[in-house]
Structures are given as C-alpha cells and as structure tokens.
Amino acid sequence: MNARSLIAEFVGTFLLVFLAVGTAIFGIAALVGIDGQGPGSGVVGVALAFGLVLLGIAYAFGPISGAHVNPAVTLAMLVGRRMPAGQAIGYWIVQFLGAVAAGGLLKLFVSSFGVTDYTGALGTNSYDNGAINLAGAFVLEVILTAAFVLVILLVTEKIAAPGFAGVAIGLTLTLVHLVGIPLTGTSVNPARSLGPALFEGGTAMQQVWLFILAPLVGAVVAVAIWRATRTEQEEEREIVAGDER
C-alpha cells in the first residue's frame, strides 16, 4: 500500500458520491429547459450517472489503486485473498472519508448555495418508505451488491478480456441502480450511504445501518459464488499470490 493508492481511493470515492448522488439531488425531479417544462434526470439519468462516473474512475484510478471506491468491493478483495488486510483497512478509511467529504459538500450546496434538493433527503437511502419494507430492502441490497461485486471479481481476473473491465463494471452499476432506485435509492456501497446520511441526519441516520451491513453481506455472497465458479488451478494460483502479498 502506498500514498498514491490511498489518495486515488479518496478522490475516486469523493467523485462517485458527489457527481452521482449529486445528479439525484440537483435534478432527479427538476424541471429543465428554456420553458422550464422539460423532465429532470429521472431514475434512468441517475442510474447512468453512477455507471458513467464509475466507468471514468475505473480507467483513471484503476491502474493506481484498483478503483474500489466501495468498502464492499474492498471486503470482497480481502475475503477473496486478492489484497492484504492492512491495505484493506487503509482503503476503508479513505473511502469513508471521501464519501463524508462529498456528503458535506452536497449539504453545503443545498443549505448555503441556494440549490434545491430534489430528493428531499440529500440522496440518502431508505426503507419502510412506502415502496419496500426493512426485510425487502435488506434482501434487495444483498442481491444487488452480490451481482455487482461478482461482476467485478470475474472481469478483473487475469483470464478476463483485457481492457473491458471498466465498461462491464460501469454498466452493471447502472443496471443495479435502475432496479434499486425506485425501492431503496440503491446503496450497494456503504460509503456512498454513510456520507450523505451523516449530514441529513434523522431517519437517514437511523436506517443507514442496513445500507452498510447489507452490501457487506452481499460482497461475501459474491466471493462465495466467485469461488464456486473457479477451477482448482485458479484457486491455487490465487492462494500463492495471496501468500506472496
């Protein structure tokens, strides 16, 4: 682990939260256009924002840190023996710090810069919201995170097609947001959820535990599925690589 990788994870997570969550806050339901009658970004626009931001981050910071920008992804890499514990802890710290910094800046925009929050809750996640209950939200977030993280584990293997991992990862994040935004707002990333929730407070902070825990469970599920699809030779190579690290 080096300072460059930690800086990359901090900046990458900051950009993910500020730009993608900001897309929802600033315009998911806004009226736009010359006559003020055009539609805002909507669910599709926000989902694309998450995917496109991560796509850019993957290619920009992937060679430096792996572009996890998500504690659930880092947990999967740790459990899958693709990174050491000390590095994972460092990543978790800067990922949460990056998300908190982004959440604070988003709060500044809506509280001091005259910007309307079109989500009404600083883009935070929720359950028992009329769209899904607690149990449903937990299961949904586990499934969506498992799907997302599994794709990351598979497309970043040495045997995967080189050069296309970022595209697959970005498109998968877009897809899980299309599914989850109408129900929970979609977390699949504990840092993304905690950062805005800290500044929104109230119900968002009361419910954020689910959007921290469920993605971490989903990451472990993804590792289990990933291991089940691997050959013994691949497992042996991974163990050797993990021991070398």
Cβ contact 177:50 at 8 Å: yes
Cα–Cα dist 190/219, whole Å: 11
- Look at residue 117 and tell me if it is in a domain: no
Total number of domains in the chain? 1
Q: Write out the DSSP string of 69-91.
A: -SHHHHHHHHHTTSS-HHHHHHH
What is the residue type of 128? D
Of the candidates 20, 26, 46, the residue with the CA atom closest to the CA atom of residue 195: 20
- Look at residue 212 and tell me if it is in a domain: yes
What is the pLDDT tens value at each position of the chain, 245 positions in all? Answer: 699 999 999 999 999 999 999 999 998 987 665 555 667 789 999 999 999 999 999 999 999 999 999 999 999 999 999 999 999 999 999 999 999 999 999 999 999 999 999 999 999 999 999 999 999 999 999 999 999 999 999 999 877 666 889 999 999 999 999 999 999 999 999 999 999 999 999 999 999 999 999 999 999 999 999 999 876 555 555 554 445 44
| Domain of residue 239, CATH code | 1.20.1080.10
In which domain, by residue range, is 211 found?
Answer: 3-112+123-244
- Look at residue 61 and tell me if it is in a domain: yes
